[in-house]
Chains A and B, each alone.
Chain A
C-alpha cells in the first residue's frame, strides 16, 4: 500500500514544476532537478543523470517523461499518474484561459499587438533551440572540430530542410529518415 501523503507530495512537486516551466524542455530540466533531488529527495543525483539519458532516447515531451519516471521510481504506477497529472495541470488551465481571451478579443488592437509580440518571442525561442541543437549536431559535446562530421551533419540538415520546405514532405518521415541514415552511416564508418 502506498502512502497517500507521498503521492500528494509527488503531485504537488510536479504542479510546481509545471507551473513555472517556461521556455521548453531544456529549461524544465533544472526545475525538475531542484524539486526532485534537492527539495524532496525523491532521487539521488546519479539517478537523475540516468533520467536525462532516458529523456533523450524516449518519445514524447521531456517533462512528461521525467514526471512518469520519477513517479514510477518513487511510488510505482500511482506515483507515475500523480506526477504526470501534476505537471500538466497548470499548463492546461493557462493554455485554455489564454485561448478564451484570444477568441473573445482577437479583433481588438490590443490583443493583435500582444499576439504579434508574443509571436516574435516564439520565433526567438525556437531559433535559440535550433542554434543549441544545431551546434550540438555539428560539434557533438563541444569536442574539437571533426571537419568530416561537421560537413556530414550540415549536409543532412540542409537536405532535410529542403525536403520539408520546398518539397513539402511531412516532417515525421524526414526525421525518422535522418535517424535511420545516422545508424547506417555509423555502421559504415565504424
Chain B
C-alpha cells in the first residue's frame, strides 16, 4: 500500500516535472528544433531520464510524424517518462504558452507589431537557433554512423537533396525512407542466412 502510494507520488511528481519543463521550453523557444534541443538538455543531461541514444531514437520517430514537432516530441517523451498521463501533462505544457500568448496577441496586435525591438530580438535568437541546429546535426550524425558510414551518409545526402531541390511533401520522403530501411533489413537478413 505504502509502496503503491510512493509510486503514485512518483507519477505525479514526474507529471509536474514534465509540465513545467515543456511549458518553460515552449514559452521561450519558438521552433520545434529548439524545443527538442532544450528537452535533450533537460531530460538527458540534467534529469538523466533517458540516454542520448534513446533521445536520438525519439527524434527519428518524431520526424516521421506530421504536425508540430514540439507537440509530438512532448507526446513521446511524456509517454516514456510517465505513460499516457505523462503525455497529457507534457502536451498540455507545450500548447499552453503559445495558446495564451496568441489569444493576448490577437487582442493587442497593433502595439506589438509596431515595436521594432521585438523583431530585432527575434532575428538575434534565430542566429542562436542556427548554432543549435548544427549541434543537433552533429549529435545525430555520430549516433547514426556508429556501425557504418556509407549507408547513413547516402541517405542523408539523398534526403537533403530531396528537401532542397524537389519541394515535394516530406510525407513521401518519410514513406520512402521507411521502405528503403525495410528493404535493407531484408538484405541484411538474407546475407546472414547465406553464411
Is the pair B131, A158 in contact by a Cβ cutoff of 8 Å?
Answer: yes
Is the pair A160, B170 in contact by a Cβ cutoff of 8 Å?
Answer: no
A182 within 8 A of B: yes
A123 within 8 A of B: yes
65-97 of chain B: CB within 8 A of chain A: 65-73, 75-76, 79-80, 87, 91, 94-95, 97
36-91 of chain B: CB within 8 A of chain A: 37-38, 41, 45, 56-73, 75-76, 79-80, 87, 91
Number of residues of chain B lying within 8 A (CB) of chain A: 105
Looking at A72, A156, A179, which has the most chain B CB atoms within 10 Å of its CB?
A179
Chain A residues within 8 Å of B57, by CB? 102, 106, 115, 119
Is the pair B159, A124 in contact by a Cβ cutoff of 8 Å?
Answer: yes
Partner of A99, one of B61, B134, B156, B186: B61
115-132 of chain A: CB within 8 A of chain B: 115-131
Chain A residues within 8 Å of B76, by CB? 95-96, 99
B6 within 8 A of A: no
Number of residues of chain A lying within 8 A (CB) of chain B: 93
| Complex CA distance for A122 and B163, rounded to whole angstroms | 11
Known contacts A25-B68, A124-B159, A125-B170: A60-B123 contact under CB 8 Å: no
Chain B residues within 8 Å of A108, by CB? 185
Partner of B185, one of A19, A25, A110, A121: A110
Q: Within the complex, what minimum Cβ distance (angstroms) separates A106 from chain B? A: 8
Known contacts A21-B68, A113-B181, A118-B181: A160-B127 contact under CB 8 Å: yes
Known contacts A118-B63, A122-B140, A164-B131: A62-B125 contact under CB 8 Å: no
Partner of B59, one of A56, A122, A170: A122
Chain B residues within 8 Å of A170, by CB? 38, 41
> Which B residues are within 8 Å of any A CB, using their own CB?
25-35, 37-38, 41, 45, 56-73, 75-76, 79-80, 87, 91, 94-95, 97-99, 101-103, 105-106, 109, 112-113, 117-138, 140-141, 143-144, 151-153, 155-160, 162-164, 169-171, 173-174, 177-178, 180-182, 184-186, 188-189
> Which A residues are within 8 Å of any B CB, using their own CB?
18-25, 27-28, 50, 53-54, 56-65, 68-69, 72-73, 77, 80, 84, 87-88, 90-92, 94-96, 98-99, 102, 106, 108-110, 112-131, 133-134, 136-137, 140, 153, 156-158, 160-161, 164-165, 168, 170-172, 174-183, 186
The 4 closest A-B pairs by CB, nearest first: A182-B124, A91-B67, A60-B98, A23-B170
10 A-B residue pairings within 8 Å (CB atoms): A22-B169, A95-B72, A99-B79, A123-B140, A124-B159, A131-B164, A160-B130, A161-B132, A165-B134, A172-B41
